[in-house]
Structure formats: C-alpha cells, structure tokens
Structure 1
Amino acid sequence: MEPKREVTSVGLVALVGELGAYTGATVDKAYLYADGLVRLKMRDYDRGRIELLIQVGERKRVHVTEPEFVPAAPDRPPNFAKMLRNRIAGADLASVSQHGFDRILEFEFRRGDADTTIVAELFGEGNLAVLDESGAVIDSLSTVRLRSRTVAPGAQYGFPESRINPLEMDYEAFAATMAESDTDLVRTMATQLNFGGTYGEELCTRAGVEKTLDITEAGETEYRRLYAEMTDLLDRLREGDTDPRVYREDGAVVDVTPVPMEEYADLESEAYDTFNAALDAYFRALEDREDEPETGESSGPDFDAEIEKRERIIEQQEQAIEDFERRAETEREKAQALYANYDFVDEIIRTVREARESGHSWPEIESRLAEGAEAGIEAAAAVTGIDESEGMIRIDLDDHEIPLDPRSGVEKNADRLYTGAKEIESKRDGALEAIEDTRAELAALKERKAGYEEEAAEAEDEKPAEDVDWLARESIPIRRPEKWYDRFRSFRTSDGFLVLGGRNAEQNEELVAKYMEHADRFFHTQAHGGPATILKTSEPSEPTKDIEVPEQSLREAAQFAVTYSTIWKQGQYSGDVYMVSGDQVSKTPESGEYLEKGGFAIRGDRTYFEDTPVGAAVGIACEPETRVLGGPPEPIEAQTETSIRIEPGRYAQGDVAKRVYREFRERFTDTTFVRKIASPDEIQKFMPPGTSRISEGEE
C-alpha cells in the first residue's frame, strides 16, 4: 500500500476545529523551505512557542509541530519569505477555515495597519497565495492563469470552481446527486460527493452496502444508509469527536485518519490524542522513511522507479504545454479585445496620457478616475489599477484584465500582447521538443527493462529445478510478465487449454470478433447475463486446429461460464450451460430479430452441460510466474502454491477480497510479496459477480 502524502478533505474538517485553538497567537517570523514548505513561528500567552507548518509541494499538509522538530532556518530568506514577514510579523492569527469541502485552508491574520489572508491549496500541484484585505493577491508560490480562475500578483484571487459540499447537504440533495450518477455507489461517493477513494469505501463499508452496486440498482435503502453514515462522520468531526490513528503496514506508515477505519482493520495502528498530533507524527515518520537510504541486496536495476519518474515528468510537461497554449490564447484574446473596442480603449489611453502630460501625478489620476467611475463614466470605471513604477494602467475589458501603456496607441499595445503570445508559444515549442526527448527516454527504459527481465527469466530457467517451500520462504522474487489476455477473465484448464471470459458486453463482443476461431469452443449459460466464454484450441500466434478437447477441460470451462454469470449473483448454486463451436456464433441476427449489445446468434446443434455447479477459487502461483489465478477450483488448486475456495454468500466482493488477502498474508512468510502480488484489488478481479463468502472448509 502506497503511503498517503496529502491531507484529505475529511481530515481538514477535523483539523480546522483543532487549529482554531491557536487563534490569538502572534506571528514572530516566517520561513520558506524547499518543496513548498512554509513555517510560521508564533507565540501564545498560554502555550508559549508555536510552530505551524504548511506544505503544498509533493507532500501536502498543515499541522503544528514541536519546536525540536522544525528544520533549521535557511541562511538567506527568499523573497517570498521576506514578503510574508513584512505582511504578518506581529499579526495575530484571527481564524482558520476550510473553503467548502475542498482541500483549501484559509488563515486570516490581523494587524493594526493591515489584514492578511494566506490561502493554502492542498490539491493538484499545490499553491500558497497571500491576499490583502480586498482579496487581491500580493504574491503566490505559483502563478495560475486559467479561464476559470487566476492566482497572480495584483489580480483578485480566484477559488477553484465550486464543488458539491456534503457538509451542507440535506437528504434530498444527497439522493438527487446519487441518482444522477452513471457509475456504482463507491465511485459516486468518491467522485461526485468528493470523499475520495478511501473514505468512499469506508462509508460504504459502514453503511453495509455493496460498493460496486450500480446506481441503477440502488435505491432509497442504500441512499438512507450512506447518508446516515456520512452525516454521522462529518458531524462528529465538526464537533471535535475524533479518535485519530496512524496506520502502518509492515512497520511503515501508510495513512493518518481522524477516526478508526474499518477499511484498515488488518493494519497496525497507533492512537493519538489529537488529529494534529497524529498528522505531525505521520509526516515526520513519512519523511524519515522516504529520505533514508535503501539497504539490503539489490534485485537489479530499479527500472520501475525510473519509468515512474519519466512518466511523472511527461505529465508535468503535458500540463506545461497546455498552460503555454492557454496563456498564449489569452494574450491573443486581449489583443483582439483592444481592436474590437478600439475607440473605447483609445479614449482611455488619450485621457490618461493627456493627464500625465499636463503634470498630474499618478495618485491624482487614480483619484480622478475613481470620481469618474462613481459618476458613471464607463471609460473611467474600466480602469482597475495603476502601476506607477512601470507607468502602466490596467483595464477590465471583455472578461480580461489588460495592461496598457498610455504612452503608446492602441496598435502598439495590441502588438505588445501579440508579441507576448508568440514568446509564450516559443516556450511551448521548447516544451514539445523536451517531451519528445522524455518519451524517447521512457521507451528506451521500457525496452531495457524488458530485455533485463527476459535475461533474468532465461537465467532462472537454466537453474536446476528444486522443491521450494514458497510459503516459508522469506523473500520471493517477483516474476510477472504481462499477458495479452490479462484484461479479460481467464484461466488454464487442467489440460492446459486457455479459457477466456468477457467482463462486460464490450469485452464479450471483442473476444468473439478478434480472438475466437472456428475450432474454438464457445460456452454460455442458458440464463441471461453471463460472460462470452471461449476455450481456445490454439494460441493466437498459432494456426487454428480442430482437436479433441478432453471432457474434464470442457466441464471446467462450463463451470467457469456459470460461475461468472448472473446465476452466482442470484445466489444459486448451479445452472445449465451450452457449448457450440466457434463457427456457429454470429453477430448477424435472424430476419426480423434484434441483437442487443454483447449478444450473439447461435446456429446449429448445442451440447448441454446441465445443472453445472458454480465454483471458484483464488490462489497465488509462485512458479514459473508469480501472479494471482482464479477460476474453477480443481485447476486453480493444482496450479497455485495455495488457494482459497469461494461460494455464494452475503458479503460484498471487496470485503471477501480483503478476507482472502488477510488469509494469504497469514500463510506466507513474505508478506511484502503478498501485498505486491495479491492486493485486495487484484484478488477482487477474480471474484464472481455479486456477494459471496469463503467456503466453510476454508474457515
């Protein structure tokens, strides 16, 4: 499990209440470190010295820490830190608030001569903006210029587009939001209600609803349960009723939460008195873990880390290219707005230029413009600001704030904007060249990785066979080459035949259209709703051949077809399955008939496997490859080091997958191997649809 590096929206609800206890503290100094870490050194009459950390870089967090844990002050403070000191040194912390349910915190500081607000954006790339009393940006760590919002010195700070706020939802609004979704319950809670994956799953678990239940199949019962759990959790956090936990896996921290999590029942946890204390301990431990040098035997070049690094760089370069294109387009739009409003802009420029030539100071001009705006003079009202040092004015025109040089005419001001757009586009061209270089590096790395793994596999094959007790082995090497059929459901029969099944209607059609040959066997349940199941008599790279398939393999394929159909989902223990050859299956319906998506026309005689029992097992194979396998019990048990049988029951897929995962961790000495190869998410891919349970013989 990858460690969390960001405070969640749910966590911020709990944190805001705790940080409110520090209101009244006075700021002594501000510091800026690498990776967007800002430290505010404060003092309080009762608490003494207070160290508030706000980080908006790769790690995104806010919490108070003990003085002995703060980093040493930089030798020379950056300009941003100097600006902060000028604005808030001697100011009192007046309030801390969360913007809606977003990962945004606002810190308001009050001082006799000026009030200041610090906005910490703990999402995306992260940012920190310092605002004056009017909400204008004094400075920010990063400049943001989007159609939807602007964060730039001199501009009014723009919050991100408003999202749904479950803190203010009544049941009717909640139910309406759920009903409008086009996915399942857990994804709706995670994305539409903004809880994220972890808390989306947690609320489903607490409510006792099936996470993967499609919205179209859910109703008021599920909605009422989810709403009750959601409001109970949020009300508790707002009231300060927390029970914080830091969770560890194999001794390493992986998450910090304001309440105990049922989703993390199998992890080690440590309780804290406050969520702030838990955050402080978690991020210190995370920093120690990620900064310490790796030790132990090397398992070869770390291609995955380098590949991940290049992929991250490409993502950043793509974002930069989009930003350049957006900025260039904005500059062109500004220039076009000047020409579209030529006479109006010319009037503003001439008025300001003549005032300057008449000897009026900038403050006098600003005062006269303000009077004109109050009198309803449109040209005066359009001027939003003056930059005395540059001799420039700013006007609001067609939803753009445009800088103008009153010493130049409309054409020259527009040309300056067009030139700026071209300069930005040249930067975009440079970024395009850079991203191509990075993509070439990524492709080369992937090729080197494939070659290394191939050599390692050949070396492994040359080793003499040995009887290995994989369950007791302390370190199991991971060998998991990608298969072309990994995205489908699949298993090998006891006789080695590959059996494939679609996970949805699209995959059913793809399997039949692309991968089924005339000599293959096609299986389907008599009941509606099941995978298109194909037993391959040859590999895709081999010529098709009509061969006799042993009865055992046919029955295992039939069991696979019935197990992953609606028969299991309905809680039944058997069903009828028919088999035909590949050339009997067609997408062309009979005259006057219609085939729905994922459906097929079957012509000719069928072979029936009546009353075929459902049956599934999930296991872990250790040689010749390390991977999770799932399908009919008999072949799976023969092909894996250890396995667990599943039968229809009353527990949700995800819950059973977690129980299977915990059982595997108990069986293997190398629990890290289990975590990497057989996570609950990976196990769930092999679970039949609907609810189930571990067979009694496995308990």
Structure 2
Amino acid sequence: MDRKRAMTSVDLAALVGELRDYTGAVVDKAYLYGDDFVRLKMRDYDRGRIELLIEVGDPKRAHVAVPEHVPDAPGRPPNFAMMLRNRIAGANFEGVEQYGFDRILTFRFEREDQTTLIVAELFGDGNIAVLNEDHEVIDCLDTVRLSARTVAPGAQYGYPDERFSPLDCSYAAFAAKMDESDSDLVRTLATQLNFGGLYAEELCRRAGVEKTTDIDEATDDDYEALFGALERLREPILEGRTDPRLYEDDGQVVDATPLPLEEHTAEGYDATAFEHFNGAIDAYFHRLQAEAETETDTGDDKPDFESEIAKFERIIEQQQGAIEEYEKQAEVEQQKAELLYGNYDLVDEICSTVQSAREEGVPWDEIETTFEEGAERGIDAAAAVVGVDAAEGTVTIDLDDKEIDLDPTMGVEKNADRLYQEAKRVRGKKEGAQAAIEDTREDLEDVKERRRQWEADDDEDDDADEESPDRDYLSMASVPVRYDEKWYEQFRWFRTSDDFLVIGGRDADQNEALVKKYMDPSDRFFHAQAHGGPVTILKATAPDEPAREVDIPDTSKREAAQFAVSYSSVWKDGKFEGDVYEVDPDQVSKTPESGEYIEKGGFVIRGDRNYYRDMQVGVAVGIKCEPDTRVIGGPPSAIEPVAETSVRLQPGQFAQNDIAKRLYRTFRERFNDTSFVRKIASADRIQEFCPPGGSERVE
C-alpha cells in the first residue's frame, strides 16, 4: 500500500481554483516550523479564520486547514518568518497560480506599499522562495545554484523549464507526444505526458486499453480512447466540478483525489466523499500524520540517517556541477574579451562601419546585406560578421570559432570590458556556490557524526536519559528540543539566582510599554545613571498575578542592577563600571516639571533613590537544556549555574553581530549535536543577549 506523500500536478490543478475562493483574505501572521513548513494565518469577513499550510519537506502539500488541524505556534520566530511577517502582515491574498503543469504554486499578496509573491516548490527537495514584484528573491528556505536555474537572495527567481501540460493539449499534440516515446502506453503517459504512475494507470483503465501495449503497436483507436479518457478527466478539474474522495485501506488513509478513481476502486479501497477537494486533502494529511505518530513501535527508532546523507550528497553533486558550469562560462566570457583586444583593428572597423551607417540612417537589413557582399569579396571584417540583430542593435561576429555579440555604439574597449565584467559576475556566482557547498558539506558531516554517535550509543535507554539530571547534553548525538515562547521574550530578560524575572527595554517604545503595561506596584525599577540605558523591571509577581508585597533578596536586586548597567551606554562607551539606582514604581512618572519636556522612553524620577555605586558590568551568554532548551543571557552569577555551557563577555572590539557569530561558532564546537545549536541558538538569537556596542570574550 503506497500512501501519498506529495501532491501531484493534477491535485494542484484541482486545488488552485478552490484556493482562489479565499481571495481578499487579510494576512495576520506567518510562522515557520522547522525548515520546511510555513503557516499563514489569515482572516476573512465572511469565512473568519483561515489557515494556509505549505509544507515542502516530507510530506509535500499546500492547502487550507481547519483550525483543529493546525499545529501550535512554534517558539521564537526565525529570520525567515520575521521577514515574511514584515512583508505580508496586513496584506490581501490576491490569488494563486500553478506554473504550467509543474508542482509549483505562486501565491500573490498585495499591500499598499508592496507586492509579495510566495513560490512553493513541491517537487524534489522542496523549497519556498519569497519574491518581490520584479521576481527578485528576497529570501528562500534553500539556496539553489544550478546551471539551469538559480534561487538565491538578490537573484532573479528562475522557474524550471515548463513541462508539457496534458490539461490543455489538443489531440494532435497528444498524439505527437505519445509518438516520441519508445516505451509502452502506461509509461509514456506517466513520463512523456507527465501524468505520473497513478493517473497513467487510471487513463488506461478508463480507456479500456492494455497498459503494457508497446507504442509501436498502439493503434489510432488506442490513442483516441486514451484522449477521450483524458478529456473526461480534465474537464471537471478545469471547470471546478470536482467530486473529491478520501481513500482508506484497513482504516489507514491511502490517498485523497479530486475525482473518484476506478484504479482505487479496483484495489478495494474504502472511499469517503467530500464537498471540496481542499477538505479532502486537509483531512488526508492530518490523518497521515496522526497515524504515523500512533503506529506500533517496532523497537527500531533509529533516525533515517541514510536518507539525510543521500539528500546532502545529491545537493553537493548539483552544487559541484553548478560550480564547474560557472567556471566554464566565466572562462568563455574572458576569452571573448581577450579576442576583441587581439583583433582590435578588425573589431574597430566593424563597429565604425555600423555606427557610421546608422548615423546616416541606413536600415539594419541594408547593413546586413553590405556585410554579406563584403564577405563575398574577401573583406576580413565583413567575413567576421555572422549576424545582425536589428531589434537589439547588435552585430554578432565570429573570432576563433567563438561568436561574440557587439554593441557597435560602445567601441572595442567597452565591449571587451562588458565581457570582463560578465566573467567577473559569473565568478562571483561561483564563489557563492562554493560557500553554499561548504555549508552543505558541514551539514553532511553533522549527519554522519550523529549516525556514528547513535551507533556508539545504541544500547543506551534514551527515555531514562531524558529524565536523568546528570545528562551530558554536550556529548549527546541528538539533543531533544523543548521550547515554548514566553511573553517576556520580546524584551531583554533573564531570571535571577532566586528565580525572579527581570525584563528590560530594547528601545524607547519598549521602555514606555514596560512602565505603562508591565510594571506593578510591588515591582522594583532600575536604571543606570547614564543616558541611553534600558528601563529595567525586577518583577515581584507575574503579570497575571495580583500585586502583593514580596521580600526580594539582595542578590536578585544586585543582579538586576548589573543587568541595567551592562545593557546601557556604559558598555557601549567601553567602560567597566557605572552607577545604577533603584526606586519604587510610584516614583516613576511621565509628567515633567513645568516648562520641561520628556523625550520618548524617558521618565521623571521623584523622591529618594537607592544607588548601587561602581556596579561592575558583566554578561554571560549560554545555552540552557533543562527543563527547556533556549539561549539565555544576563549577569554571570544568574546565567552560569543554569546553562549547560556559557561564555562571559566584557566591553571589547567586536560589534554586536560579530561577537554573536563568534559565540555561535563556539557553541557549535562545544555541542556534539550541531543541528541542535542551529535550531536553538542561531546567531540572531544570541545577538539578542549581547550588549549594544563592542564586546569580547573573557578568557
């Protein structure tokens, strides 16, 4: 029993019309699960909440899901999800198109300030690319650099070559495509007509022809019967008259199709009718996942390392091919430029001749005739011309069996320089591909190392290990991810040694919000005695708890004070200590003295202040693994005891993003499971805990 793992081209053709019914819905938020699953939460005046799911890994699908089938929101959104939110939050969904008969969908979103296209590639390794209106890639889940197409930030999105579509072909085109084959009927329908195995079998069954009939032995009657079956299959799909079915075998889902299939009926599968194909697909993939999670444990829960290894090896092979192609292309362009200089007088004569003729108003066809006549008379410059393009205003010449397009208005030097620049551009693409292949090789080694570690630890009881407080997470082959986003993670934050929450503003807006919305009467307010410091609140109680008097230990107060000075301009100025004051919440006011003005994010403090003089700056950034997994940062005395591993920072020479990248590399070196570090402690997340200004490690 083969169960559908990816939507077919026929599925997508049937689904597109239904998805267009959601045109006008407004995007609320975008989510990214793992590295291959995007969820777009939308709302519509008539329909209410709409959840669009696009998954390009395993399985591959795109459909609207009922809320009950939507996974819980993931943790802190990665950069890709944040980019999506910035571009399409508040945008209108304006429709979706299938690219030819390929498994590619392009979703269009319109907002007053910009247009955004989301391209979902539901074939091969799968990918999602976000484009602007000019089809330039803003970002993508995976970078693709092949000789035939490129999908990379900053590049023009390259669709693959469009495949033959049986949904809009004539009988003549159908017959001609069939005649190109040297196989049997069913294989020809599957490959030449791009129907795939299932629908190829279905057409043969509906047409009443023997599927194994060789093409050379097929008659006109066979072709006509197959084309008639094709028309009966495609008409309801193109007209939106689907009659969806969900198929099951022994209680397990097998397939969801836009029309009843005789092939599945012959297999004895149970069928359930649906009003809409989208509903059938949603139910199918929800059931598929649920059944996979509840299947009987065979005792062999080894991850599928071999599939991962094969995937990365395949990507490396593609990238190596692209690198070789780029080098060949660059070499050809450079040789062309050198040929122009090597034949300077001849090329100059051609350019001058064309330019003079054009200035005199001579038509391009006459110029071409003149060169042909000159070639017959044995004139070298004329003989070198092999083509004239009036539309482009260019002349093609042949030098040493290399055809070169010339712009006669530019002269020899500029034409050669254009070719040199093209060679340089292509070599730049080669360098990008080389960087990409190094990343892929690193991913491949990560998988191989996890496989070696798994095999070495095969006899360990993983469940018992997870409960062990002495578990060595640094040496584990696969660290379980346990992450639940908290409300306070929008701010700077840490928990003190006594487990009190401390939160600080990242900017003036957050400073305002902390005082107005999150500061309760029993909390404590801290601020560095320096301009440009964060509002720092030591929370006595949680926001959903009633305010009450709490005895906050002095250790927590001093850690809050160190936090306040470390993330202030004191650190940015390269100083190692500064003064911090503490006051009650009722001493903090937005009302200035008469005739004075308070800037955004600023406050007036009235009454006595409790000072922490010469408070030492100090920040530790680390990774916590129990009871949850996340990056943490703050005063070393609060961070180091609870982090699996950490690094201390002090004011120094490396900018915030540079020190974050250095810490990321350090953590990857310390953890055996480097994929866990990528998921939990990306450089972006680490940077959130690094003080503004320069930093360096404390060795």
TM-score by length of 2: 0.50
Aligned to 2:661: none
Aligned to 1:292: 294
Are the aligned partners of 2:129 and 2:137 in contact in 1 as well (CA < 8 Å)? Answer: yes
Equivalent residue runs for 1:445-464 within 5 Å: none
Deviation at 1:342, TM superposition (A): 5.8
Are the aligned partners of 1:321 and 1:432 in contact in 2 as well (CA < 8 Å)? Answer: no
SS of aligned partner of 1:166: coil
Equivalent residue runs for 1:605-644 within 5 Å: none
Deviation at 1:319, TM superposition (A): 0.6
The CA distance in 2 between the partners of 1:273 and 1:10, in whole Å, is 18
Aligned to 1:147: 147
1:87-121 deviation per Cα after TM superposition (whole angstroms, max 9, x unaligned)? 11111111211111111111111111111111111
Equivalent residue runs for 1:192-591 within 5 Å: 192-265=192-265, 266-292=268-294, 294-295=296-297, 302=300, 309=304, 311-333=306-328, 336=331, 339-340=334-335, 397=422, 401=426, 403=428
**Structure 1's 136 and 421: CA in aligned 2 closer, same or farther, altered over 3 A?**
closer
Deviation at 1:311, TM superposition (A): 4.6
Are the aligned partners of 1:395 and 1:401 in contact in 2 as well (CA < 8 Å)? Answer: no
SS of aligned partner of 1:233: helix
Aligned to 1:39: 39
The CA distance in 2 between the partners of 1:424 and 1:139, in whole Å, is 15
Are the aligned partners of 1:338 and 1:345 in contact in 2 as well (CA < 8 Å)? Answer: no
**Structure 1's 428 and 28: CA in aligned 2 closer, same or farther, altered over 3 A?**
closer
Deviation at 1:66, TM superposition (A): 1.6
The CA distance in 2 between the partners of 1:426 and 1:45, in whole Å, is 48
AA partner of residue 154 (structure 2): G
Deviation at 1:155, TM superposition (A): 0.9
Which consecutive unaligned segments of at least 5 residues does structure 1 have? 347-372, 385-393, 405-416, 445-699
Aligned to 1:118: 118
Aligned to 1:480: none
**Structure 1's 55 and 375: CA in aligned 2 closer, same or farther, altered over 3 A?**
farther
The CA distance in 1 between the partners of 2:37 and 2:90, in whole Å, is 21
Deviation at 1:233, TM superposition (A): 1.0
**Structure 1's 424 and 241: CA in aligned 2 closer, same or farther, altered over 3 A?**
closer
AA partner of residue 49 (structure 1): R
**Structure 1's 383 and 97: CA in aligned 2 closer, same or farther, altered over 3 A?**
farther
The CA distance in 2 between the partners of 1:200 and 1:231, in whole Å, is 13
AA partner of residue 171 (structure 2): Y
AA partner of residue 273 (structure 1): E
State whether structure 2 residue 27 is matched by structure 1 residue 27.
yes
Aligned to 1:77: 77
Deviation at 1:291, TM superposition (A): 1.8
The CA distance in 1 between the partners of 2:141 and 2:433, in whole Å, is 23
Q: How many residues align?
A: 389
The CA distance in 1 between the partners of 2:135 and 2:434, in whole Å, is 31
Aligned to 1:652: none
Are the aligned partners of 2:309 and 2:444 in contact in 1 as well (CA < 8 Å)? Answer: no
Aligned to 1:101: 101
Deviation at 1:250, TM superposition (A): 1.1
AA partner of residue 318 (structure 1): E
The CA distance in 2 between the partners of 1:65 and 1:181, in whole Å, is 40
Are the aligned partners of 2:333 and 2:423 in contact in 1 as well (CA < 8 Å)? Answer: no
Deviation at 1:321, TM superposition (A): 3.0
Aligned to 2:178: 178
The CA distance in 2 between the partners of 1:326 and 1:219, in whole Å, is 43
The CA distance in 1 between the partners of 2:442 and 2:62, in whole Å, is 36
**Structure 1's 431 and 20: CA in aligned 2 closer, same or farther, altered over 3 A?**
closer
Aligned to 1:129: 129
**Structure 1's 334 and 185: CA in aligned 2 closer, same or farther, altered over 3 A?**
closer
SS of aligned partner of 1:12: helix
The CA distance in 2 between the partners of 1:61 and 1:281, in whole Å, is 12
1:51-85 deviation per Cα after TM superposition (whole angstroms, max 9, x unaligned)? 11111111111111122332222221111111111
SS of aligned partner of 2:90: coil
AA partner of residue 282 (structure 1): Y
Deviation at 1:442, TM superposition (A): 14
The CA distance in 2 between the partners of 1:187 and 1:151, in whole Å, is 31
Deviation at 1:339, TM superposition (A): 4.1
The CA distance in 2 between the partners of 1:26 and 1:104, in whole Å, is 23
**Structure 1's 167 and 429: CA in aligned 2 closer, same or farther, altered over 3 A?**
closer
The CA distance in 1 between the partners of 2:415 and 2:91, in whole Å, is 34
1:98-152 deviation per Cα after TM superposition (whole angstroms, max 9, x unaligned)? 1111111111111111111111111111111111111111111111111111111
Deviation at 1:11, TM superposition (A): 0.8
**Structure 1's 427 and 241: CA in aligned 2 closer, same or farther, altered over 3 A?**
closer
Are the aligned partners of 1:331 and 1:421 in contact in 2 as well (CA < 8 Å)? Answer: no
**Structure 1's 228 and 425: CA in aligned 2 closer, same or farther, altered over 3 A?**
closer
1:172-206 deviation per Cα after TM superposition (whole angstroms, max 9, x unaligned)? 01011111111111111111111110111011100
The CA distance in 1 between the partners of 2:100 and 2:37, in whole Å, is 24
Deviation at 1:314, TM superposition (A): 4.5
Deviation at 1:345, TM superposition (A): 13
Aligned to 1:4: 4
The CA distance in 2 between the partners of 1:45 and 1:375, in whole Å, is 59
The CA distance in 2 between the partners of 1:222 and 1:58, in whole Å, is 37
Deviation at 1:336, TM superposition (A): 2.9
The CA distance in 1 between the partners of 2:77 and 2:279, in whole Å, is 28
Are the aligned partners of 2:101 and 2:162 in contact in 1 as well (CA < 8 Å)? Answer: no
State whether structure 2 residue 55 is matched by structure 1 residue 52.
no
**Structure 1's 442 and 192: CA in aligned 2 closer, same or farther, altered over 3 A?**
farther
SS of aligned partner of 2:164: coil
Are the aligned partners of 2:109 and 2:115 in contact in 1 as well (CA < 8 Å)? Answer: yes
Are the aligned partners of 2:337 and 2:417 in contact in 1 as well (CA < 8 Å)? Answer: no
AA partner of residue 277 (structure 1): G
Structure 1 outlier segments of 4+, above 4 Å: 341-346, 373-384, 398-404, 420-444
Deviation at 1:278, TM superposition (A): 0.3
Deviation at 1:269, TM superposition (A): 1.4
Aligned to 1:17: 17
The CA distance in 2 between the partners of 1:80 and 1:120, in whole Å, is 14
SS of aligned partner of 1:3: coil
> Percent identity at matched positions?
51
TM-score by length of 1: 0.50
The CA distance in 1 between the partners of 2:434 and 2:100, in whole Å, is 39
